[in-house]
């Protein structure tokens, strides 16, 4: 049994992995960046790409070597060397991958904590998702609202409170790297600190029906002054047809009470446009 | 014993009329006059088909008709359309039926790719488009990948064990006949008012709760496909545990059998959850229950927990049998024992255990409890370890072997290793929460699942079909056409699914009928490649059909393999073995002079080598 040229194989793996890494790192995989989360997430992706390149190179080099070296000659009816295994080697190729994935998981956890840290000066924006439109409420600016257009100031953390009105939708601005489902019945949070001014697109990424493809909204990130000007220019309060889950439940309960002929609590009807019946 | 199929159809019509008449008066919610017959008609069909005859007679205390084996084996092609209890016939029934649905599912995919070739709406309306990808995924998962593995194993596993048949032949036949029923229900949904189910194969509540009638077809179809899976898995478990030939202890079982054991454990444990999720949706829809109705206090996210508690293990249900197939082929064609056989078997069991703890990685952005994310991330990434062990061990098997690449099955096995590694790597990326937050529900996901399910599962299915084709038909396929199929498929797979990663990471969501103009070029490449990939499968079908009829005769053992199925004629005799074989060694004893896996009945005088010491000896 010939000895394996282990050193050469390892060097070939390292070389191929390095080449792959260098080539793959040339690309800007996740596209434009416009929030503070993009730095840590994109770096995590780059690290993962490098690790993956070496693993893929390892498989390719060893597979290629085996195919070249031990390809049977035509007419060779013989058998290979009856090796059943190698316990030491098997322990190594179990333990090293464990270490790699645990390290990557730890790193991911740190990044996750980093991008979800809440800041004290964060502002809150309500996001109402319904088939097939986005509406935004600004509770800190007198509950003003705007449909189909989101404005936020640059360099300030925003906590988006997501309210699903009918089915599940998902809030995603690719340049922010942040995504969260808007689930009917509960309120979910998406935390973003936009750090670049510009106009972006909000995309619904959870299949929500026939109009899912077109469920987009314009996102404008602008300076604090411009933002204040814009939000102050809004006039109406959040309309009654948009409600949080608690409100929706309350409306539903009252509607049922009316149907049964039971006298309600005397509160005025808050709207008939309940989209979820 | 076997009532005519004609009587069955008559009974179906009668039941339809009966339930239809009775329900018509209360018609108001959810089309009961359609829904109820949708459940009763298949049972009427099975009853009339003779699927329950024996059991009913037994239950009624009537004398059961002793099996005269009239329904065993197949001598004419018509026999394949009957209720047959021979595992070899059932295996072929499974494979041919599922390949038919593979074509249907492929056509559905090509239709959606035609729409996606250019930005804007061209071929189909948005509502039809949602129906297309939903039925594509459902048909491919429930009627192609999962059951074709059951079909391959049905044919091969009893032979590998040295058993004359499966443990419960009638249940086995019933498992098969539930499948075409599920398929017809899924496809019939295109005829329902409102069109085919269009809430995705995941059928998330509350979207599915309010969807048109077609969604009910999905809910019910999954029940039949799921029942088929569970019954088949129980059958495999009992067969593998109780019907091994003398001497076949657990550590002498081929890895194909181990893989089927592991898969069956997953099916039995997990499939009831998808049945439950669909029953709850069905009850919400037609009986006015409120499991997932948030307005009545239902919990929307719990649907996803229940659904993925099946549907993530389902990914391994669709992969483990493939691992088994690859181990058989690589070992046979490199003339070497599988490297680290025991660790390979343990890795399968490790995947089974871990796969029950990773379901919520589909839900990192769903708004579920945030504390659950990190534990799920860790277990998700750990499941890459046993999977990595398998890849490394296959490489180890090749080293110091004599690698023969004349057979298309071996080439597919090698292509699988490379392609599946990519799918595994993108899987680890998706396990990392910060990356998943960005790419979940984008085309990156579509790319990943197709690398795993097409570059993974389907490659192993092709490898397995080519490997056992001579055994099943007694004839050889055409290797030249096999190579054409291989290369078109490999190139088509990479060209179709690699660019999907790129557009997904850059911001293209999945399940959309239209997209931003900047993704137009890559989508055109994807669509053209998808059609190439589809065309390649026609080569495969032609090869299979023509070779089945006209191929040169295959001997009993064209690959010079060791496992038991190759020690009998091709195709094997009706009860597989004239005398039950005796197992005397491991399944992959290549290169050890005189070592045998099994001694066949007529080989009584053969020298029995000293059995290798085993630490675990079962039965």
Q: What's A212's domain CATH number?
A: 2.60.40.420
Q: CA dihedral in degrees (B467, B471, B474, B476; nearest 10)? A: 10
Give residue A268's pLDDT band: very low, low, confident or very high (50, 70, 90).
very low
Residue A91 is predicted with a pLDDT of: 94
Structure tokens at B246: 């003398």
- Alpha-carbon distance B449 to A84, whole Å? 33
Residue B258 is predicted with a pLDDT of: 96
Q: What is the mean pLDDT of chain A?
A: 87
Contacts of A48 in chain B (CB under 8 A): 428-429, 432, 435
Q: Indicate the helix (H) or strand (E) that contains B362.
A: none
**Nearest-Cα residue of chain A relative to residue B499:** A29
B388, B434, B506 member nearest A97 (Cβ): B388
B301, B384, B431 member nearest A183 (Cβ): B301
Residue A269 falls within a domain, yes or no? no
Residue B15 is predicted with a pLDDT of: 57
Inter-chain residue contact B428 with A52, CB threshold 8 Å: yes
Distance from CA of B541 to the nearest CA of A (A): 29
- Which portions of chain B are predicted below pLDDT 50? 1-6, 8, 22-29, 605, 609-619
Inter-chain residue contact A55 with B502, CB threshold 8 Å: no
Inter-chain residue contact A183 with B367, CB threshold 8 Å: yes
Residue A88 falls within a domain, yes or no? no
Residue A250 falls within a domain, yes or no? no
**Nearest-Cα residue of chain B relative to residue A213:** B512
Residue B14 is predicted with a pLDDT of: 61
Give yes or no: residues A133 and A151 share one domain.
Answer: yes
Contacts of B297 in chain A (CB under 8 A): 249
- For residue B60, list its beta bridge partners: none
- Alpha-carbon distance B490 to B499, whole Å? 15
The total number of structural domains in chain A stands at: 2
- Alpha-carbon distance A173 to B442, whole Å? 12
Q: What is the CATH number of domain B84-567?
A: 1.20.210.10
Inter-chain residue contact B343 with A248, CB threshold 8 Å: no
For chains A and B, what is the number of CB pairs under 8 angstroms? 259
B300, B515, B586 member nearest A168 (Cβ): B300
| Sequence spans of domains, chain B | 1-61, 84-567
Residue B122 is predicted with a pLDDT of: 83
Inter-chain residue contact A212 with B130, CB threshold 8 Å: yes
A4, A70, A207 member nearest B199 (Cβ): A207
- For residue A138, list its beta bridge partners: A144
Distance of CA A107 to the CA centre of its chain: 17
Structure tokens at B136: 């594509």
Q: pLDDT (tens digit, 9 = 90+) per residue, A229-241?
A: 999 988 777 676 6
Give yes or no: residues A105 and A137 share one domain.
Answer: no
Give residue A11's pLDDT band: very low, low, confident or very high (50, 70, 90).
very high
Q: Judge contact between B378 and A102, C-beta under 8 A.
A: yes
Residue A256 falls within a domain, yes or no? no
- Alpha-carbon distance A65 to B201, whole Å? 42
Residue B595 is predicted with a pLDDT of: 85
Give yes or no: residues A49 and A147 share one domain.
Answer: no
Inter-chain residue contact B421 with A98, CB threshold 8 Å: no
| Domain boundary, last residue among A196, A217, A233 | A233
Inter-chain residue contact A79 with B432, CB threshold 8 Å: no
The ipTM, to two decimals, is: 0.88
Decide which of A204 and B210 is more confident.
A204
Nearest CA among B527, B534, B571, B568 for reference residue B122: B527
Give yes or no: residues A137 and A219 share one domain.
Answer: yes
Residue B23 is predicted with a pLDDT of: 43
Contacts of B122 in chain A (CB under 8 A): none
Q: Which domain holds residue A13?
A: 6-67+94-116
Residue B45 is predicted with a pLDDT of: 80
Query: Which among B212, B351, B437 is the top mutation candidate for probing chain A, defined by the most A β-carbons within 10 Å of its own β-carbon?
Result: B437
Residue A171 falls within a domain, yes or no? yes
């Amino acid at each position: 049994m010939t000895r394996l040229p282990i050193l050469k194989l390892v060097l070939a793996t390292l070389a191929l992995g390095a080449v792959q890494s260098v080539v793959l790192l040339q690309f800007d995989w996740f596209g434009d960046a416009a929030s503070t989360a993009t730095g840590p997430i994109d770096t995590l992706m780059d690290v993962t790409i490098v690790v993956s390149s070496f693993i893929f190179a390892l498989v390719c080099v060893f597979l290629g070597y085996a195919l070249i070296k031990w390809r049977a000659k035509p007419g060779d009816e013989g058998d290979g060397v009856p090796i059943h295994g190698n316990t030491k080697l098997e322990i190594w190729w179990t333990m090293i991958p464990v270490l790699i994935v645990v390290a990557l998981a730890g790193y991911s956890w740190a990044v996750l904590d980093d991008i979800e840290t809440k800041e004290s000066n964060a502002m809150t924006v309500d996001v109402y998702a319904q088939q097939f439109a986005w509406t935004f409420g600004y509770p800190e600016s007198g509950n003003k609202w705007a449909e189909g257009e989101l404005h936020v100031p640059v360099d300030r953390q925003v906590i988006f409170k997501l309210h699903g009105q009918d089915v599940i939708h998902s809030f995603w601005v690719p340049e922010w790297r942040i995504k969260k489902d808007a689930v009917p019945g509960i309120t979910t949070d998406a935390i973003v600190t936009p750090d670049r001014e510009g106009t972006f697109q909000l995309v619904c990424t959870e299949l929500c029906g026939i109009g899912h493809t077109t469920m987009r909204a314009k996102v404008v990130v602008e300076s604090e002054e411009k933002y204040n000007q814009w939000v102050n220019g809004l006039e109406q309060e959040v309309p009654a047809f948009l409600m949080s889950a608690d409100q929706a439940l309350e409306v539903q309960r009252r509607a049922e009470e009316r149907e049964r002929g039971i006298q309600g609590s005397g509160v005025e009807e808050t709207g008939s446009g309940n989209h979820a019946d | 014993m076997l009532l005519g199929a004609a009587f069955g159809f008559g009974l179906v019509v009668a039941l339809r009329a009966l339930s239809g008449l009775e329900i018509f008066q209360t018609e108001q919610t959810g089309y009961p006059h359609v829904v109820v017959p949708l459940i009763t008609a298949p049972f009427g069909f099975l009853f009339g088909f003779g699927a329950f005859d024996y059991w009913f007679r037994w239950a009624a205390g009537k004398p059961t008709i002793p099996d005269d084996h009239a329904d065993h084996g197949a001598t004419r092609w018509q026999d394949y359309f009957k209720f047959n209890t021979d595992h070899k016939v059932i295996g072929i029934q499974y494979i041919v039926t599922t390949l038919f649905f593979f074509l249907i599912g492929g056509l559905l995919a090509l239709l959606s790719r035609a729409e996606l070739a250019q930005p804007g709406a061209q071929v189909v309306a948005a509502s039809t488009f949602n129906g297309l990808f939903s039925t594509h995924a459902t048909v491919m998962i429930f009627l192609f990948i999962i059951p074709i593995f059951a079909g391959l194993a049905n044919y091969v596993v009893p032979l590998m064990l040295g058993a004359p048949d499966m443990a419960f032949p009638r249940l086995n036949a019933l498992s098969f006949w539930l499948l075409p029923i599920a398929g017809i229900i899924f496809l019939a949904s295109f005829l329902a008012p409102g069109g085919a189910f269009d809430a995705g194969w995941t059928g998330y509540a509350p979207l599915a709760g309010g969807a048109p009638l077609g969604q009910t077809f999905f809910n019910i179809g999954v029940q039949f496909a799921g029942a088929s899976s569970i019954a088949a898995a129980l059958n495999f478990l009992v067969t593998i545990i109780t019907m091994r030939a003398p001497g076949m202890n657990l550590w002498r079982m081929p890895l194909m059998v181990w893989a089927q054991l592991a898969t069956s454990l997953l099916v039995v444990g997990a499939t009831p959850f998808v049945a439950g999720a669909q029953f709850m949706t069905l009850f919400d829809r037609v009986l006015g229950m409120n499991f997932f109705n948030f307005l009545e206090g239902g919990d929307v996210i719990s649907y996803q927990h229940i659904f993925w508690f099946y549907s993530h293990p389902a990914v391994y249900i669709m992969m483990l049998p493939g691992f088994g197939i690859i181990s058989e082929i690589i070992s046979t064609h490199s003339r070497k024992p599988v490297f680290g056989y025991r660790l390979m078997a343990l890795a399968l069991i490790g995947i089974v255990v871990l796969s029950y703890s990773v379901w919520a990685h589909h839900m990192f952005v769903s708004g579920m409890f945030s504390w659950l994310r990190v534990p799920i991330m860790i277990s998700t990434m750990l499941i890459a370890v046993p999977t990595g062990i398998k890849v490394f061990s296959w490489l180890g098997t090749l080293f110091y072997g004599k690698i023969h690449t004349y057979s298309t099955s071996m080439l597919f096995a090698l292509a699988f290793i490379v392609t599946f590694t990519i799918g595994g790597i993108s899987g680890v990326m998706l396990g990392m929460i910060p990356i998943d937050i960005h790419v979940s529900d984008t085309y990156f996901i579509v790319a990943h699942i197709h690398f795993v399910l097409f570059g993974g599962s389907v490659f192993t299915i092709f490898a397995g079909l080519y490997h056992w084709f001579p055994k099943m038909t007694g004839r050889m396929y055409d290797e030249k056409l096999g190579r054409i199929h291989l290369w078109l498929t490999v190139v088509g797979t990479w060209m179709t699914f690699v660019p999907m990663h790129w557009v997904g990471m850059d911001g293209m969501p999945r399940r959309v009928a239209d997209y931003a103009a900047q993704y137009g070029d890559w989508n055109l490449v994807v669509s053209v490649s998808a059609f190439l990939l589809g065309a390649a499968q026609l080569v495969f079908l032609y090869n299979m059909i023509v070779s089945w009829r006209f191929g040169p005769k295959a001997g009993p053992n064209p690959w010079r393999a060791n496992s038991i199925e190759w020690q009998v004629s091709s195709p094997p005799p009706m009860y597989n073995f004239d005398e039950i074989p005796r197992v005397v060694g491991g399944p992959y004893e290549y290169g050890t002079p005189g070592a045998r896996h099994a001694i066949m009945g007529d080989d009584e005088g053969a020298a029995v080598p000293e059995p290798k010491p085993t630490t675990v000896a079962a039965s």
